[in-house]
Chain A
Amino acid sequence: MAKEKFEDALEKLEQIVREMEAGDLPLDAALKSFEEGIRLIRFCSAKLEETQRRVELLLEKENSLQTRTFQDGQEDETG
């Protein structure tokens, strides 16, 4: 679950919503689907809100790879 991908989660969520909208689920299954749907929505929202953006440089020094924070300083901050 830790490696669950946003795209897969979104796809699963869409399927659950379609099934529930079709309305032929028994109550138990509908309740379970609803809970799973809510969990997926929370998961996806959390994924979208991961705000730490990292921009790094990948360099090779003395035959080994290393990363270094990229500092450009000219990035347009007005968005």
Chain B
Amino acid sequence: MKNVLTVSQLNDNIKTFLEEAFGILWVEGEVSNLRRPQSGHVYFTLKDDKSQIRAVYFRPYGVRAVKFDLEDGLKILCRARLSAYPPRGEYQLIVESVEPQGVGALQKAFEQLKARLAAEGLFDASLKKPLPFLPRRIGVITSPTGAVIRDILNITRRRFPCVNLLIAPARVQGAEAAGEIIAALRRLHAWGDVDVIIIARGGGSLEDLAPFNDETLAREIRRSTIPVVSAVGHETDYTICDFVADLRAPTPSAAAELVVPRKIELQETLHDLYRRLLASQNRCLALQRERLHSLAARFKDPRRYLADYAIHVDDLRERLKRALAHRTEAVAGRLKPLEARLRGADPRRRIREHSLLLAGLEKNLRGGWNRFLLERSERLKKNAALLSSLSPLAVLQRGYSITRRLPEGEIVRDAKLLTPGNRLDIQVALGRIEARVEKIK
């Protein structure tokens, strides 16, 4: 009797069988034919040099679980279930988580995480906290056994014997390391009383240093309120921790040197400051003392000035006297010639001389005057005779009179201009008559 199955029944049976028979698998291989449809799920083929298998990585698992983006050619280690897809009759791996495998994949994952955190600004210089100048207590996260912690202890003690250390032990290698380092960071923050934290690990392969490339650890370091120094691996090893920390030290020993100043240098600085302080204090005092001395030297009892003044006054008086005498002599000297000259110019002599001159002139004048008078009187007589023949008075002599109207005194030439009663003045040769007009004819 044939047991006939439909295709669907067969595929369903295969699917159930595969899922039950294989359970959870770890499969390693290289990614190829990667496809990323709109859904966000990732489809790819996992292969090695001889064989290949389909794989799908569903988004709900993926978002946080994937620590890096898958790319063709990457070697990965998948945690997956085997299953079948009945509609197409294909079997495939349902991938639950992916770990990078091999140097290339780790390097790729590192570059991707570094670029993403840098873009987020987690490495910004502005976020870097300054280290304390002289830490009182240093938190150290590392393995409590081994060379790293011994180096740190030795170097800090050599540079500065009294710096305290608080070691928060953590594994620094393997799958649990990142989680333990995060826990140690949190312990140090909870405990407080540390001024700076060193996260240290010796050198190792890229796989060995993988915990220090953990994204969660990177974010925890960035959140730290205490400055963090990353000292992982050798000088040439760089980890995400190095970028996100406040300071990267090339090695754990270098971290100890960067964090702890040399005591001897500080003592020298202090000593130098002490010398300078003393020197400037001495200089300042010397300067003030000098000023005081100079002022004291200039400061005098005013009574000493009195004596000086008295002498000065006497001196002045003497000089005044001498000057006065000298001046008098000088004036007298100038006076004498003036007196002589004055005497020489006595006006009485000139008066005598001038009165003689005057008398002569007077005599001349009188002689002249008499001659002048004589000549004039003779000319007068001649003219008077001439004049008397022309004078109206001579006419009056001959019986004419001159009538004037009073009171104006104007000469009357026309009788019609008079009216009876007018007063008249009539001049005759000898005397004058006052008359009144009786009648006009």
Contact = CB atoms under 8 A, between A and B. Distances in A.
B132 A7 contact: yes
A17 B280 contact: yes
A55 B267 contact: no
Given A10-B269, A70-B144, A20 B280 contact: yes
Interface residues of A, number: 42
Nearest to A70: B167
Given A17-B273, A20-B281, A38-B277, A60 B165 contact: no
Nearest to B158: A79
Contacts, number: 114
A50 B277 contact: no
Interface stretch (B35-43, B183-191, B210-218): B183-191
Nearest to B133: A7
B161 interface: yes
Contact of B169 (A27, A45, A59, A79): A59
A30 B281 contact: yes
Interface string A25-68: 10100100010011001001101111111111111100001010
Contact of B153 (A30, A37, A55): A55
Interface string B352-396: 000000000000000000000000000000000000000000000
B167 A58 contact: yes
Contacts of B288: 27
A38 B163 CA distance: 24
Contacts of A75: 150, 153-154, 157
Task: Indicate the size class of the contact surface on chain B.
Answer: 35 or more
Given A53-B157, A58-B166, A59-B169, A48 B277 contact: no
A41 B274 contact: yes
Contact of B284 (A25, A50, A59, A79): A25
Nearest to B187: A58
B187 A65 contact: yes
A4 interface: no
A58 B164 CA distance: 13
Given A6-B133, A17-B273, A48 B191 contact: no
Contacts of A38: 277
Contacts of A13: 270, 273, 277
Contact of A48 (B187, B188, B263, B273): B263
A27 B132 CA distance: 36
13 contacts: A13-B277, A23-B287, A30-B284, A51-B162, A53-B165, A58-B166, A58-B168, A60-B183, A60-B187, A65-B187, A67-B191, A70-B144, A75-B157
Interface of A: 5-7, 10, 13-14, 16-17, 20-21, 23, 25, 27, 30, 34, 37-38, 41, 44-45, 47-60, 65, 67, 70, 72, 74-76, 79
Given A44-B270, A55-B167, 16 more contacts: A6-B133, A17-B280, A20-B281, A23-B284, A27-B284, A48-B263, A49-B162, A50-B162, A57-B144, A58-B167, A58-B188, A60-B183, A65-B187, A67-B191, A72-B144, A76-B154
